[in-house]
Chain A
Amino acid sequence: MVDLLEYEGKIIFKEYGIPVPDFKVVSDEKDIPDFNERMVIKAQVPTGGRGKRGGVRIVNNREEAVKAMNEIKNINFDGYRAEKFILEKAYVIKKELYISVTLDRSVEMPVTLASAEGGVDINSVPQEKIYKKPINPFVGVTEYTKRELSKFLGLSEDHAQEIGRILVGLYSIYDKLDASLVEINPLGLTDKGLIALDSKITIEDDALFRHKEIPVRYFGLDEIELEAKKKGLSFVKLEGDIGIIANGAGLNMATIDLIAQAGGKPANFFDLGGTDDPEKVIQAIELASKVTNKVLFINIFGGVTRCDTVARGVVQAINELKPKFKLVVRIRGANEEEGRKILLDHGIDSMLNLDEAVERVVKLAGE
């Protein structure tokens, strides 16, 4: 998932006819012009709750803005520092609303969510105060949906048109950019009408191939997770000391569960995926070695990935890496006999039964 920063989202909002405050993106004090009105300066960071940590401040002139910016630059936002800032007019806000378009997995269609209680986490708003309506992609946003939405939010006649246009804009962004979430929170009701005071746009990884305009960068990932992602591998770091490599996401999760249930502490989730290249297995073991302290558990159910391929990769990796940790290999399925033989020829004992393998892993980790 790629999360856009607020200012990137607001540029897109503007293109799609969603009203945003006039804003300027600044990163250095020389970018800040002279002014004499109520403005707001906001840190551009990919984390929530920046306001609570002092990342959003009201300023009345250039001097205050420069001071605020320099102070905010010293704040640590979950490991991120603000490098860019939005400087925009601070409106008098009569009311803060919420509106978004996202995928509803249950109805398998995009859905708009809206509430008159904006400015807070939508998950904390009671269901009955949320307007929820699927948008059929073959139909788009209907006129009656706009009327329903406006009424639900308690908007007056003159704002009904505006909210309709905003919904159309949000849905168009969702559709055209393959977004998984397009959110305005808060949507401010001001004396200048409805204005998007913040933006959140999330784009799915799977769709990035057709969006070269979207900057590919990932927030909130550990160094090893990022390295894996660049190699097209799926890796999630956990807190424990038992490294895990399995093929397939489901088998991986199940392996973690079994280890944890047996009292072990998994260090990671790592999907080897389907491969017939021993080199990929070596790469995987190299990467997993970085989080493994005590035992590395390789659990393979062969299909597309054949057991002999895995065995060859394991043998080579162990010869090259000469790891200090212990190794437990469990292989079943396609070419399991051949795979076991290759391992045994190199002095590596492999197991067939999953429960027994898990038991051994946890026992070795406890030694």
Chain B
Amino acid sequence: MAIIVTEKGLPVIVQGITGHQGSFHASQMKAFGTNIVGGVTPGKGGTSINGVPVFDSVKDAVKETGARASVVFVPAPYAPDAVIEAIDSGIKLVVIITEHIPFHDMTKLKLYAKLMGARLVGPNGPGITSVGIAKLGIMPNSIFKSGPVGVVSRSGTLTYEIVNTISEAGLGETTVIGIGGDQVVGTTMQEAVRMFQQDEATKAIVVVGEIGGTAEEETAEIIKKEVNKPVVAFIAGRYAPPGKRMGHAGAIITGNKGTAQSKIQAFQEAGVKVASKPSEIPVLIRQKLGNV
């Protein structure tokens, strides 16, 4: 099995499909095996792009295709509205790729999604891939291999680097979720780790964190109390200067809070092995899992 994306053939739409990113990644998702049933771009309804029908609204798309998940590529100023439209149309899983959505919008979107029983993944992340099931997002298709490792990460390309390393070492993944680099994200690291603990197919968990906030420290607390599967962590930003935003909106050390040191220590205290470089991750997983 997997987490969040667990159903092969789950009907998925792409919001913002006629844009450069949207059209490219809709094709890539299809190539991965995702059941892309339609796209939405207001004003472009009735057309099609790479064989995928385009609708004017999410409501129309859901009515015609039975879509139950959406991947959002809509630019930041319009993305919050696109997410609400998806939720209002009955979509229960919305993966937001868009970056630069103001966190004020995200705090409200998150509350709204909770109220309406929908799950958000992202924004400002690569989405989620369940190997052998479906990919909702922009991770490169070539890096995956079916296997026992669940990966949760705050990053994009660093996730690819690490997943690639895990695959090349012969291990492979169940689900890889990029929760996004923003201060407020739809699905948190804490939730993802809890879900991986519940997921039978996942035998080991890799947590990829970075400076800023306290998600890693809170995740370490959860691991200590609730997780009996082996966990390996990697923290980026050990040498990041305080007070500087390192690319991601969420990656900033404020005062003495959010340092890599604090996160590494929290993980170590929870019995989590912390890798000092990506290539060490599969080695540490193997040590804990034995031969798989």
Residues of A near any B CB (own CB < 8 A): 1, 103, 105-106, 108-110, 123, 136-138, 175, 178, 180, 204-207, 209-210, 220, 234, 236, 238, 246-254, 256-258, 260-261, 266, 269, 271, 301-304, 332-334, 354-355
Known A206-B100, A303-B138; contact A105-B214, beta-carbon cutoff 8 A: yes
Known contacts A105-B183, A207-B104, A250-B157; A333 and B210 CB within 8 A of each other: no
Residue B263 interfacial (CB < 8 Å): no
Distance of A1 Cα from B276 Cα, bound (Å): 31
Interface set, chain B 167-210, CB cutoff 8 A to A: 181, 183-184, 208, 210
Q: How far apart sit A269 and B245, CA to CA, in the bound complex (Å)?
A: 10
Q: Are B246 and A254 within 8 A (Cβ)?
A: no
Are A207 and B276 neighbours in the complex by a CB distance under 8 Å? no
Residues of B contacting A247 in the complex (Cβ-Cβ under 8 angstroms): 157
Residues on B with beta carbons closer than 8 Å to the beta carbon of A204: 102-104, 249
With contacts A234-B245, A253-B251 known, what are 7 further pairs, Cβ within 8 A?
A109-B107, A207-B102, A249-B247, A260-B238, A261-B238, A269-B244, A301-B164
Inter-subunit contact A303/B140 (CB<8 Å)? yes
Q: Which 8 A-B pairs have the closest CB atoms?
A: A250-B155, A249-B247, A248-B157, A250-B158, A253-B236, A207-B102, A251-B157, A271-B247
Instruction: From the candidates B156, B208, B213, B246, name the one contacting A105 in the complex (CB within 8 A).
Output: B213
Partner of A108, one of B138, B184, B248, B278: B184
Specify which chain B residues have a CB less than 8 angstroms from the CB of A207 in the assembled complex. 102, 104
B277, CB-defined interface residue at 8 Å: yes
A333's partner among B106, B160, B255 (CB-CB below 8 A) is B160
Is there contact, CB below 8 Å, between B100 and A301? no
* Closest residue on chain A to residue B249 by CB atoms: A206
Q: Bound state CA distance, A234 and B247, in angstroms? A: 6
Residues of B near A137 (CB, < 8 A) are: 104, 107-108, 111
Residues of B within 8 A of A236 (CB): 240-241, 244-246
**Contacts A/B (CB < 8 Å), 21 sampled:** A108-B110, A123-B256, A137-B108, A138-B111, A234-B247, A236-B246, A248-B158, A249-B181, A250-B181, A250-B210, A251-B161, A253-B246, A253-B247, A254-B158, A254-B234, A260-B238, A261-B277, A271-B247, A302-B140, A303-B138, A332-B164
Q: Are B77 and A210 in contact (CB under 8 A)?
A: yes
Q: Contact: A269 with B238, CB < 8 Å? A: no
What is the chain B residue whose CB lies nearest that of A210? B77
Q: B181: which A residues are within 8 A, CB to CB?
A: 249-250
Identity of the chain B residue whose Cβ is nearest the Cβ of A353 in the assembled complex? B279
Q: Are A269 and B76 in contact (CB under 8 A)?
A: no
